[in-house]
């Protein structure tokens, strides 16, 4: 057995990032994920001109899947999808709200044909409501959820975006977990269900522990939360580092490492509450002391005093970091159409049912013929589909 989800079949109708990245986690964990693409393919296939069909983003979000290319606007194409659905445990889609109903594959229609299906719908802000018809990408959610405000420049107050698609990728993690939870429930009841995940709801949940903490206690009212004036990156005389000194013990250790034991009993910083109240003064004092030290020497002193710390690595340095290498966290695979390509290995490690190491992503329609055969189409039926341009198979022309 390879992977805890071996034997689970997933029909992946998703495109771009949030849905495909969710389903690639299930593929890594052993599920048979069938990516259903249009005859033109997922738009992310075409975002790298020098490797048409295999951009790095596409490979990362679709590795280990099988691909079938269908014209879902045709009745014959819809008939193929119905056969796939009848064989499926999970159907995942991130079309705009209402689109699946218009195609004839809304949840109620699917449930009528296969009551065991876990039906995942990923949306930008939800299926209904004043914004539900708007087109949504990651920056839209960063703006709407308050994340951009949390990142605001402390001096100008200008909101800032995170420079990675954090809303898309976090939604993928939440969605994958929700699907596996629904599969556990189905194991008890024998019946699937509709699972709805919106990027907006995900990011509100994601931000609540600390980003929205100033608004958690209703009795406090809703006041404007001040942006943090420091990003926790400190410049030494020859590089950058970060550290965490939250507890009294860690604060004492930091003061000792900086050769500033006088700060331990300083009334401005003597307790967690005082350090929080006087945060800016504390940061200025600490930053001045750090700027006079060499990075590696200071890290050694911080470690000797049990203060959590690390150098701030450039992305080129991450690849060769000794802990990253020890974890074997980055694998190299030989991706067709590209050549050797690095991928992060699946983060969860299962002792009894190990997940797959990263596998290659499929070419458009690479598995069309095999999948059609699996769901009952004979040679003549497959040829009719190919001749009518309802399906595409690179080896079927």
Count of residues for the chain? 397
Of 174 and 51, more confident: 174
**Is 283 inside any structural domain?**
yes
Could you tell me if 61 and 198 lie in one domain? yes
Could you tell me if 33 and 179 lie in one domain? yes
**HSE of 347, CA atoms in CB hemisphere, 13 A:** 3
Final residue belonging to a domain, choices 264, 285, 311: 311
Could you tell me if 16 and 125 lie in one domain? yes
Could you tell me if 199 and 267 lie in one domain? no
* Contact predicate 89/11, CB 8 Å: no
Could you tell me if 179 and 293 lie in one domain? no
pLDDT at residue 153, as a whole number: 86
The 10 Å CB-count burial string (b at 16+, else e) for 346-382 is beeeeeeeebbebbbbbbbbbbbbebbebbebeeeeb
Could you tell me if 22 and 62 lie in one domain? yes
Could you tell me if 41 and 122 lie in one domain? yes
User: Which parts of 102-215 are beta strand (E)?
Assistant: 118-123, 194-198
**Is 388 inside any structural domain?**
yes
Could you tell me if 357 and 306 lie in one domain? no
Alpha carbon 188 to its chain centroid, in Å, reads 28
Of 213 and 136, more confident: 136
Residue 266's domain comprises 234-311
Tens digit of pLDDT for each residue in 97-132?
999 999 999 999 999 999 999 999 999 999 999 999
**Is the pLDDT assigned to residue 224 strictly greater than 80?**
no
**Is 196 inside any structural domain?**
yes
Residues in contact with 203: Cβ distance below 8 Å, sequence separation at least 6, in sequence order: 141, 142, 145, 147, 167, 170, 171
Tens digit of pLDDT for each residue in 248-299?
999 999 999 999 999 999 999 999 999 989 988 999 999 999 999 999 999 9
**Is the pLDDT assigned to residue 51 strictly greater than 80?**
no
Q: What is the mean pLDDT of residues 329-341?
A: 95
231 is catalytic: no
Owner of token pair 């040679």: 379
**Is 194 inside any structural domain?**
yes
> Which CATH number covers residue 269?
3.30.1540.10
**Is 117 inside any structural domain?**
yes
> Which CATH number covers residue 97?
3.40.50.10540
Could you tell me if 264 and 120 lie in one domain? no
Could you tell me if 198 and 301 lie in one domain? no
Could you tell me if 29 and 111 lie in one domain? yes
**Is 150 inside any structural domain?**
no
**Is the pLDDT assigned to residue 229 strictly greater than 60?**
no
- Overall number of domains in the chain: 2
**Is the pLDDT assigned to residue 52 strictly greater than 90?**
no
**Is the pLDDT assigned to residue 397 strictly greater than 60?**
no
**Is 79 inside any structural domain?**
yes
**Is the pLDDT assigned to residue 366 strictly greater than 80?**
yes
Final residue belonging to a domain, choices 247, 282, 311: 311
**Is 333 inside any structural domain?**
yes
Owner of token pair 């000794």: 322
Could you tell me if 54 and 84 lie in one domain? yes
Q: pTM (2 decimals)?
A: 0.92
Final residue belonging to a domain, choices 276, 311, 346: 311
Catalytic residue among 153, 168, 357, 395: 168
């Amino acid at each position: 057995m390879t992977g805890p989800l071996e034997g689970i079949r997933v029909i992946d109708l998703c495109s771009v990032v949030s849905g495909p990245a969710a389903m690639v986690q299930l593929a890594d964990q052993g599920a048979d994920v069938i990516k259903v693409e249009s005859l033109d393919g997922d738009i992310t296939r075409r975002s790298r001109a020098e490797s048409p069909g295999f951009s790095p983003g596409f490979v990362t979000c679709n590795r280990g899947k099988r691909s079938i290319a269908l014209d879902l606007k045709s009745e014959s194409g819809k008939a193929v999808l119905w056969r796939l659905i009848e064989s499926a445990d999970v159907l995942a889609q991130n079309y705009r709200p209402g689109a699946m109903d218009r195609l004839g594959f809304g949840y109620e229609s699917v449930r009528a044909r296969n009551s065991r299906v876990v039906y995942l719908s990923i949306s930008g802000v939800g299926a209904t409501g004043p914004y539900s018809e708007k087109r949504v990408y990651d920056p839209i959610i960063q703006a709407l959820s308050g994340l951009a405000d949390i990142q605001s420049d402390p001096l100008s107050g200008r909101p800032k975006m995170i420079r990675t698609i954090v809303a898309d990728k976090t939604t993928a993690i939440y969605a994958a977990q929700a699907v596996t939870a629904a599969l556990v429930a189905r194991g008890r009841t024998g019946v699937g269900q509709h699972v709805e995940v919106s990027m907006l709801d995900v990011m509100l949940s994601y931000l609540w522990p600390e980003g929205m903490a100033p608004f958690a206690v209703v009795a406090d009212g809703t006041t404007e939360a001040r942006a943090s004036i420091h990003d926790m990156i400190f410049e030494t005389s020859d590089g950058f580092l970060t550290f965490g000194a939250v507890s009294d013990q860690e604060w004492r250790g930091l003061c000792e490492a900086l050769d500033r034991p006088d700060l331990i009993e300083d009334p401005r910083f003597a307790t967690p509450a005082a350090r929080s109240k006087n945060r800016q003064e504390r940061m200025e004092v600490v930053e001045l002391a750090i700027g006079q030290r060499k990075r590696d020497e200071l890290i050694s002193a911080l470690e000797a005093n049990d203060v959590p710390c690390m150098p701030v690595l450039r992305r080129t340095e991450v690849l060769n970091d000794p802990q990253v290498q020890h974890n074997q966290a980055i694998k190299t695979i030989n991706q067709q159409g590209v050549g050797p390509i690095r991928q992060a290995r699946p983060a969860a490690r299962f002792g009894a049912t190990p997940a797959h190491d990263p596998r290659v992503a499929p070419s458009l329609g690479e598995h069309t013929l095999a999948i059609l055969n699996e769901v009952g189409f004979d040679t003549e039926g497959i040829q009719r589909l190919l001749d009518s341009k309802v399906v595409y198979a690179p080896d079927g022309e």
